Amino acid sequence: MPSIANYRGIIPAISCPFTTDHRIDEPALRKLASWLAGHDGVVAIMTNGHTGEVFSLTPAERAEVTRIVADELRGRMPVISSIVCEGLADAAEHARAAAAAGAVALDVMPPHHWLRFGFTPGHALQYFEAIHRAAPELDLVCHVYPAWTRASYSSQLLAELARLPYLQAFKVGQRDMNKYARDIQAIREADASKAILTCHDEYLLASMVQGVDGALVGFATFIPQLIIDLWNAVKAGDLKQAMAVQALITPLKDAVYGGGEPTGEAHARMKGGMYLAGVLANATVRPPTEAPNAQEMDALRAAVAQAGLSKR
């Protein structure tokens, strides 16, 4: 089983193709995973993220998605699986299932009830520890939610998490650039060896130049090469080239995300764009997520054409 050497680079959060009757489309998922893994600069694939419509999947289906992707990429590229649970026992079960399915790391999302009721630092530390105990052979990735949510981690807590030996990376999406900068500093001061990956799909360039180690984004399941090109320009310190690549990405970003953050409907629009670019043969999403309307598809068609990606 391949491990992730350093988590530095581009990690797509893979979309989950469905058949027209809303079953997991295994051949399409295998094809998508293999296509993504074929890009130089992609260092891992993450399953069961928001882009993968994880909240529409049963626990068994989440394990199945990870199994399919890990099997397809066996010996070629490691797979991270997200943990999206409510309690310690629930999370432990999901962790064991992901490990059995072939994941080498787990992206730990905050429990949904924290968004409603909040949490204490002790809650978070217990949650990570329970997941680690359930699957001690797997690395953990801390998924950082927006600063405006009640599931936002303080800079102090992020530093405590960075000191955990089994936690190797942070997927950071504060959507508040001042807190983003403070949090990066806190993590670096706590343990500079831990990888920090932006998940600001909707403003990649601005978040990449803050001293991070790459990106773990759903947007990379759609336009991996453009995001790799952007990251390479940022690493080279070539702002002119980075701005030119971002200029290609921006219309696509606007067509997918509009003026806001990622949502279920944004992920549906992304599937529409992937269909137009020939990445997916079928853009079906699971209800209650709604497919793009005609106006949204027109905007996607124009953006895909402008980026030179049109296949349909």
Q: Average pLDDT by consecutive 10-residue portion of the chain (312 residues)?
A: 74 98 98 98 97 96 98 96 97 98 98 97 98 98 97 98 98 97 98 97 96 97 98 98 97 91 89 98 95 96 96 87
Measured in degrees and rounded to the nearest 5, phi and psi for residue 77 equal -160, 140
In the prediction, which pLDDT does 262 show?
Answer: 81
Instruction: Quote the pLDDT of residue 3.
Output: 57
CB 1 within 8 A of CB 38: no
Q: Identify the helix (H) or strand (E) that includes residue 297.
A: helix 294-306
For the domain spanning 9-236, the CATH number is: 3.20.20.70
What was the pLDDT predicted at 312? Answer: 83
Bridge partners, residue 214, by sequence: 9
Q: What's the pTM value of the predicted model, to 2 decimals?
A: 0.96
